[in-house]
Structure 1
Amino acid sequence: MKTLVIDCRMIAMSGIGRYISELLPFIIAELGKDVVLLGKKDELKQYNNKIIEFDAPIYTIQEQINYRKIIPKSKLFWSPHFNIPLAPIKSEKRITTIHDVYHLAFYKELSIFQKIYAKIVINEALSKSDKIVTVSKFSKNEILTYTNNKYKDKIEVIYNGVSEYQFDKITATPKNDIFEIEQYPYFLFVGNIKPHKNLENALRAYIIFIENLPENIKKPHFKIVGKREGFINGNNMQLGNLINENPIIKNLVDFTGFVSDLKLKELYSQALALVFPSKYEGFGLPLLEAMKYKCPVLASNIPPIKEICVDSALYFDPNSIEDISKKINNIYSSKQLRDNLINKGYSKYKEFSWEHSAKKHLNILMDLL
């Protein structure tokens, strides 16, 4: 019997993928060969543990059918997302990470299938799991608000960390030829285009900001980390139309495509500010990344972001395009404000580490084992 089986299918994705990839080395270092990984072998080949090929898409019937066949006899099964096996499995205990309950908080915006799936699976995850991990006090409160308070003692809050890289000792200066120094100032957005990420309001606010700048001022760009195709296709037609049709967007908004971690460090370290306009989050990893690389943070005034950043960010109302535009202008116009946010953020990010997060996860795992 194996000790621990982990569903690693999301390891190559942003967000949850970062969460899995950062914690996995610590868990394997502690439990060794008794850890079995489910996922694609080419994405997990760096680990010397047993890998069981499993590529069923998440949130599918195929996933549910295969779970029972694939999960080996074990003491503990860990789902790093709420898409748990609904049927009985050959594992004695379960632990699940629920990062947020967006699917319940924005229930009215989902399709019929999404509504049914989210309602059933999140409640089943709470019922069937011996322990639930979540990433902020806000998320714990949201889970209890949208499900049942009887799960209160089963849920533990463990904050995410900020990644440490070998290249972190590299300083982004004009003398360092590793970095391509940008020729113009820019704001930075790091995230996806799900409606709650609120990119549309951020871009509309940016347009107003640009329109109000004097003609002789060099216009700062707006860089979006991600593939352009992902922004102009899909269900968010208003956002797609805005990107395709507005001349300011066409001339001043840059889509970076996929970037390496080293390139992302460069983008953070040279940006005027990270613009983080989300209407809903469980945590928000880019916030910590920006603070680490001395990038001022301009963010929504929603509870989870204020829980993480406290006074290390300049806040705006994510529903007010005018307020977002005003705060973009404030941070653009004041070097003193940017420097103040940089100093506060650089102190704040040090309170979060993946090593500390991993130790707390391991304490739970060992207790369950």
Structure 2
Amino acid sequence: MKILFDHQAFTGVRYGGVSRYFYDLMVSLQQKGVETQLSLLFSNNAYLLESDAFRVQSFSYFLGFMPTNMLFSQVNRLWSIAQLKRNQYDVFHPTFFHPYFLNHTKKPFVLTYHDAIKDKFGAEFGHIDNASKELKQTLFDRSAQVIAVSENTKQDLIELFRIKPEKITVVHHATAFQNLNVPETFQIQVPEMYLLYVGTRNDYKNFAPFLKAIAPTLTKNRRIHLICAGGGAFNPEETQLIQQLGLTNQVGQRGIDSDVALFRFYQNALAFVYPSLYEGFGIPILEAFAAGCPVILSRASCFPEVAQDAALYFDPKSEADLRQQVEKIIADDTLRQSLIRKGYERGQYFSLEKTASQTLQVYQRIA
């Protein structure tokens, strides 16, 4: 069996959950003896460039970031169309929602629906992708199967679109952190005590309310810091808020240049806090579990489904509740150790091999 993947999630994205999902899926399928082809010529995606599994060429941003990305996306799209027209594959798995392929593929295709954030909340988070609800409906109508990354996301699909439940298969995400080789000699410079926030900080990520909620805790204990790993440098509004809260010396942003560095950020933290208002799955939860980091989650969307009893939960709209759970973790080492143990156990339910096997079953049903 040969599976064709396209360029969409990889052209200009260096890191990110969607590109990581597809990269891990393709590599895991290859390890199971499945032939995978990625129709991609040019990419700055770190997962691809740091791997021997796929051959791509990096590019420089000679026209500026967005114009250069658009140019190479067009080139990659033409290459994807050429691979579709060759018709030398059994199943096509596009990596995003651009409909360019609809007039070029003669074989069945599968779509992965990662989250309902834009479709559920509309213009409030409308920048997340450029695909309208109507376009997604067209793609779902034409697709042979749709993969949802959680039961919660499957229910969102059923509520938001005209799609039969039997056309949707739930395949949970996983993380390569479970098998990550972290050299003992690799260490990072971090404060002795810190809370960890990972990823982007926009809108539904609920970062500003999170920061305001823990400000009194950090003010009471100046030894405790907050590290924001990834997500880019603080913008002027975030910098101003940190200054207004009197936390300039306790809140910092750090870049992530490798998986092993991110693993250490989790491993050395008092806890990983995920205050998001909504997610489709939440891969950072599994990363924290694998690294032995206690997890504190908003009681929202898929989080209870993923973490079950291996995390503390708070009302994402209650600063007092969030602060209470954070202070509980800080004060109770026995609780921390219990959550670490439960996190390891819960993490075993998810694996890249399991994700690949269940996805392969979807391909086999429709091929």
Q: TM-score range by the shorter chain?
A: 0.7 to 0.9
Residue 41 (structure 1) shift: 5.5
**8 Å Cα contact 2:275-2:298 kept in structure 1:** yes
Q: Note the residue ranges of structure 2 that are not aligned, 5 or more in a row.
A: 60-67
- CA gap 1:34/1:337 in 2 versus in 1, 3 angstroms: closer
Is 2:80 aligned against 1:78? no
Q: Deviations over 1:296-347 (max 9, x none)?
A: 0011011400001011101011111121112111111111111111111111
> What is the RMSD computed on CA atoms of the aligned residues?
3.2
Separation in 2, partners of 1:48, 1:303: 34
- Listed as ranges, the matches of 1:255-294 within 5 Å are 255-294=253-292
- Listed as ranges, the matches of 1:214-225 within 5 Å are 217-225=221-229
Separation in 2, partners of 1:321, 1:21: 37
Separation in 1, partners of 2:53, 2:334: 50
**8 Å Cα contact 2:7-2:76 kept in structure 1:** no
Separation in 2, partners of 1:272, 1:232: 26
Q: Deviations over 1:229-270 (max 9, x none)?
A: 3x416xxx5x45424x33533211111112311111111111
Separation in 1, partners of 2:275, 2:227: 14
Separation in 1, partners of 2:298, 2:53: 42
Residue 6 (structure 1) shift: 0.4
Q: Deviations over 1:178-202 (max 9, x none)?
A: 3246442000011212311111111
Residue 283 (structure 1) shift: 0.5
Q: Please tell me the residue identity of whatever aligns with 2:22.
A: I
TM-score (norm 2): 0.84
Partner of residue 154, structure 1: 167
Q: Deviations over 1:207-229 (max 9, x none)?
A: 12223x2xxx4421000011543
**8 Å Cα contact 2:296-2:312 kept in structure 1:** yes
Partner of residue 148, structure 2: 134
Is 2:36 aligned against 1:21? no
Partner of residue 205, structure 1: 213
- Listed as ranges, the matches of 1:319-358 within 5 Å are 319-358=317-356
**8 Å Cα contact 1:94-1:131 kept in structure 2:** yes
- CA gap 1:241/1:151 in 2 versus in 1, 3 angstroms: farther
Separation in 2, partners of 1:53, 1:78: 23
**8 Å Cα contact 1:294-1:346 kept in structure 2:** yes
Partner of residue 106, structure 1: 121
* Identical pairs, percent: 24
Partner of residue 63, structure 2: none
- CA gap 1:31/1:344 in 2 versus in 1, 3 angstroms: closer
**8 Å Cα contact 1:28-1:35 kept in structure 2:** no
Q: Please tell me the residue identity of whatever aligns with 1:162.
A: T
Q: Deviations over 1:66-124 (max 9, x none)?
A: 8656633334221233344374223321111011111111114155x989832122212
- CA gap 1:167/1:65 in 2 versus in 1, 3 angstroms: closer
Is 2:200 aligned against 1:185? no
**Which of 135, 142, 156 is 1:121 aligned to?**
135
Residue 154 (structure 1) shift: 0.7
- CA gap 1:28/1:37 in 2 versus in 1, 3 angstroms: farther
| Worse-matched range after superposition: 121-130 or 3-12 | 3-12
Partner of residue 232, structure 1: 235
- CA gap 1:208/1:95 in 2 versus in 1, 3 angstroms: same
Q: Note the residue ranges of structure 1 that are not aligned, 5 or more in a row.
A: 171-175
Partner of residue 365, structure 1: 363
- CA gap 1:256/1:169 in 2 versus in 1, 3 angstroms: closer
Partner of residue 195, structure 1: 203
